[in-house]
């Protein structure tokens, strides 16, 4: 199988009915970047910057962050690259950062909440990202945004930092796209007002699922209790896809489900055209894309979503078997 997927590395990911799909890799360490060539990934749809902060004993200085992001960029070699700002807290703790014990860390002081409460830390990271992207395009997105005010506040910090760098005559990115992760359900309800403000959206389905079903993604007893292929969750994803299409805002998904075959099938049917996943899923998912008639599947999917089954998994599996996917 490995050899079969490796042979697909340079084959474009186009569905049987001619829809081009962008298959991207999730990454967090320089080591991960090697997989881009091996898998033929179109780029990095989610670069988890917190990894660099977690593997060391103290806060990395601006210069260290800059060098790190520059190295990531070089290894990306001109492919698409989306940096996510710091997402610590929850299950990802920095040994050198003081914090109070929380009853529910996943819903606690984490991600953009920490960045907004520590503008100095946030600005340092943004400064490094701007610096490392001089003369290039910079795609940057914010994690765990729950409302529009948070997105605006984060973007303001970015703007302040940009103005500061411009005044000093620092070389800057030629273009900056500012995106938001959709992983808090409340934000899904604000899409009509949010979408005009953002350049792109990326669904963090791991957290979105966790909060939609009130199910701790890290708890073995409950993590698999509900299915991301449930009508409820897929309906939310369909809503996101439709609203982004209407607003003409590029959207992608970067949670684990994008790299699982049956789930990926559902995402294609819902209108997702950019999937970001762990690198070793790219081969199998490309094979699936090549074998799928998305328009035909979409019709069936809309029918299934109108019923009230607990999960659409059996229908999707049966569809895949019938069509030799």
**Residue 26 is encoded by which pair of tokens?**
């999730």
Binding mask 23-42 for ligand PEP (x = CB under 6 A): --------------------
> Which pair of structure tokens corresponds to residue 112?
């953009």
Residue 114 CB coordination number (10 Å): 21
CB of 16 to ligand PEP, least distance (A): 28
255 touches which of ligand PEP, Mg ion, none (CB within 5 to 8 A by kind)?
ligand PEP
Instruction: State the binding string over 204-223 for Mg ion (x if CB under 5 A, else -).
Output: x--x----------------
CB of 183 or CB of 287, closer to ligand PEP: 183
The HSE-up count of residue 317 (CA atoms within 13 Å, CB side) is: 6
Least Å distance, CB 143 to Mg ion, is: 6
Out of 179, 255, 283, 284, which residue is the one contacting ligand PEP (CB under 6 A)?
Answer: 255
Closest CB to Mg ion among residues 173, 204: 204
Q: Per CB under 6 A, does 289 bind ligand PEP?
A: no
> Helices 205-212 and 231-247 sit at what angle, rounded to 10 degrees?
130
Q: Which of 281, 268, 272, 300 is nearest to 40 (CA)?
A: 281
- Measured CA to CA, the distance from residue 29 to residue 246 in angstroms comes to 35
Residue 90 found at the interface with Mg ion (CB under 5 A): no
Stretch near ligand PEP under the rule CB under 6 A, chosen from 121-129, 184-192, 198-206, 286-294:
198-206
Q: How far is the CB of 281 from Mg ion (least distance, A)?
A: 17
C-alpha–C-alpha distance, residues 9 and 43, integer Å: 13
Nearer to Mg ion, 73 or 217 (CB): 217
Residue whose CB is less far from ligand PEP, 159 or 280: 280
| Of the residues 38, 206, 243, 311, which one makes contact with ligand PEP according to CB under 6 A | 206
CA distances to 48, 49, 72, 91, 247 from 94, in Å: 14, 13, 21, 10, 38
d(CA 202, CA 275): 9
Binding of Mg ion by 287 (CB under 5 A): no
Residue positions counted in the chain: 325
Residue 30 near residue 72 (C-beta atoms within 8 A):
yes
What radius of gyration do the chain's Cα atoms show? 20
- Token pair of 41 as six digits: 């990934």
Q: Does 243 bind ligand PEP (CB under 6 A)?
A: no
Residue 52 engages ligand PEP in binding (rule: CB under 6 A): no
49 binds ligand PEP (CB under 6 A): no
Q: Name the burial class of residue 200, with classes exposed (0-12), middle (13-18) and buried (19+) by CB atoms within 10 angstroms of its CB.
A: middle
CA 200 to chain centre: 11
Coil, helix or strand at residue 140? strand
Closest CA to 177 of 201, 199, 162: 199
* Selected range binding ligand PEP among 60-68, 147-155, 170-178, 203-211, rule: CB under 6 A: 203-211
Give the shortest CB-149-to-ligand PEP separation in angstroms: 21
Q: How far is the CB of 26 from ligand PEP (least distance, A)?
A: 7
Which of positions 18-77 make contact with Mg ion (CB under 5 A)? none
- Give 43 or 255: the residue with its C-beta nearer to ligand PEP: 255
Site residues for ligand PEP per CB under 6 A: 46, 48, 87, 183, 204-207, 254-255
Residues of the shown chain interacting with Mg ion in the complex, contacts defined by CB under 5 A = 183, 204, 207
């Amino acid at each position: 199988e490995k050899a079969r997927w490796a042979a697909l590395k340079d084959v474009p990911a186009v569905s049987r009915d001619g829809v081009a799909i962008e298959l991207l890799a999730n990454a967090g360490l320089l080591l991960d970047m090697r997989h881009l060539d091996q898998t033929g990934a179109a780029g990095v749809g989610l670069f988890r910057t917190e990894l660099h902060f977690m593997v060391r004993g103290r806060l990395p200085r601006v210069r260290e962050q800059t060098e790190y992001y520059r190295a990531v960029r070089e290894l990306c070699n001109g492919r698409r690259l989306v940096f996510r700002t710091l997402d610590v807290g929850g299950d990802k703790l920095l040994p050198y950062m003081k914090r109070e014990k929380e009853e529910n860390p996943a819903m606690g002081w984490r991600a953009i909440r920490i960045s907004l409460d520590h503008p100095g830390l946030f600005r340092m990271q943004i400064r490094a990202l701007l610096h490392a992207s001089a003369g290039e395009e910079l795609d940057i997105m914010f994690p765990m945004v729950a409302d529009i005010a948070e997105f605006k506040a984060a973007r303001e910090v970015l703007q302040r930092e940009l103005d500061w760098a411009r005044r000093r005559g620092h070389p800057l990115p030629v273009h900056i796209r500012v995106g938001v992760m959709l992983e808090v359900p409340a934000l899904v309800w604000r899409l009509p007002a949010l979408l005009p403000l953002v350049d792109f959206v990326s669904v963090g389905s791991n957290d979105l699922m966790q909060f939609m079903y009130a199910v701790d993604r890290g708890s073995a007893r409950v993590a698999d209790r509900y299915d991301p292929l449930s009508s409820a969750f897929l309906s939310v994803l369909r809503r996101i896809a439709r609203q982004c299409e209407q607003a003409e805002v590029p959207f992608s998904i970067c949670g684990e489900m994008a790299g699982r075959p049956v789930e990926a099938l559902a995402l294609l049917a819902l209108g997702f055209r950019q999937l970001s996943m762990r690198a070793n899923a790219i081969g199998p998912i490309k094979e699936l894309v090549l074998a799928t008639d998305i328009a035909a599947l979409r019709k069936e999917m809309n029918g299934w979503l109108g019923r009230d089954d607990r999960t659409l998994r059996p229908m999707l599996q049966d569809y895949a078997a019938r069509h030799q996917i």
